[in-house]
Amino acid sequence: MRLGADHVVVTVPATAGNLGSGFDSLGLALGLTDEIEVRAVASASVELEIEGEGAETLPRDESHLVVRALRAALDHVNASQTGLAIRAINRIPHGRGLGSSAAAVVAGISAARGLIAEPEALSAEVALEIATQFEGHPDNAAPAIYGGATVAWMAPGGAKAASVPVVDGIEAAVLIPGSVLPTEQARSVLPAMVPHRDAAFNVGRAALLVAALGGQPELLFEGTEDRLHQTYRAEVMPSAMAMLDHLRAQGLAAVVSGAGPSVLVLGTDLAARGLASGMPQWARGIGGENWRVVHTVEQVPGATTHRL
């Protein structure tokens, strides 16, 4: 397949995985985005300009996740490889459970989609499968691709996803600490097996959460209850658990965002509950952190690609 464009811009959202009870399956796009500008150049070189998150630490060569995903997507459709000039504006915090790696992978795949002459060859379904090969699980990649809320699963044919309806009025607020927690560390403390009663508990709560999102927001608190991952991770994210306990004590449907240590709140009229975007005074010092809030009111679209 030949290239059909040489200059694209991709915007991809942050995401929260799990949503409490929906471990490794439910996800939500958040109102915080990375922007990647990609030019195909007539050379074999890779040039990377990075602003924002990771500007001091991320590689600027073929090992960068955006480049790897872009090249994998081009290979998938048998398109010619090309030199790349990339400008990345990273707003999604790294190591905070906000899907920054999924965003990078989806950005690379979306850029490839914009570059090729037949973009439908890299459909959302194909993009999800490629992204899952990088991520290992699809719960963050799905909302980054489709937007809104999603449920994702692994089938014999690969990764699958479906959109989850969210009634107007349900909002999200994510509280972001200064500290980081590598996903590998957060997963390392999870047990290989859990009691049957806890698995059954989460199945019921995840089903309840889908009903809550679809039109019964008064059920969000119970729908986000979890016994599969959050308590096991408490030892490696004490600040997140302190914030989680603080918010749930007030009746707010708070969960650990992805692998943490950010904390996500789902509900209505969240600004009135002190969860408008910014650095609220009330949150200062909880768990030894200064927390920043990103408040999302409208449903967030998935990755968008524009040819220039």
Peptide bond into 156 cis (omega under 30): no
Residue 59 labelled as part of a binding site = no
Q: In whole angstroms, what is the distance from residue 172 CA to residue 252 CA?
A: 11
Which structure tokens are listed for 92? 């999604």
Q: 217: which 2 tokens?
A: 């927001």
Q: Is residue 99 a known part of a binding site?
A: yes
Q: Is 102 annotated as a binding residue?
A: yes
- Could you please report the per-residue DSSP string of 100-141? HHHHHHHHHHHHHHHHBS-GGGG-HHHHHHHHHHHHSSSTTH
Is 95 assigned to a binding site?
Answer: yes
Q: Is 96 annotated as a binding residue?
A: yes
182 is in an annotated binding site: no
Query: What letter would DSSP give residue 241?
Result: H
CA 90-92-97 angle, to 5 degrees, is 145
DSSP class of 278? B
- Annotated ligand binding at 138? The verdict is no
Tell me: is residue 188 an annotated ligand-binding position.
no
Q: Which of 268, 255, 258, 260 is nearest to 289 (CA)?
A: 260
Was 101 annotated as part of a binding site?
yes
280 labeled binding residue:
no
List Cα–Cα distances, 192 to 9, 187, 189, 215, 255, in angstroms: 41, 10, 9, 35, 22
Residue 256's DSSP bridge partners are 263
Phi, psi angle pair for 267, to nearest 5°: 170, -165
Instruction: Give the whole-angstrom CA distance, residue 269 versus residue 265.
Output: 11
Q: Which parts are annotated binding residues? A: 93-103
- Residues of each annotated binding site for ATP: 93-103
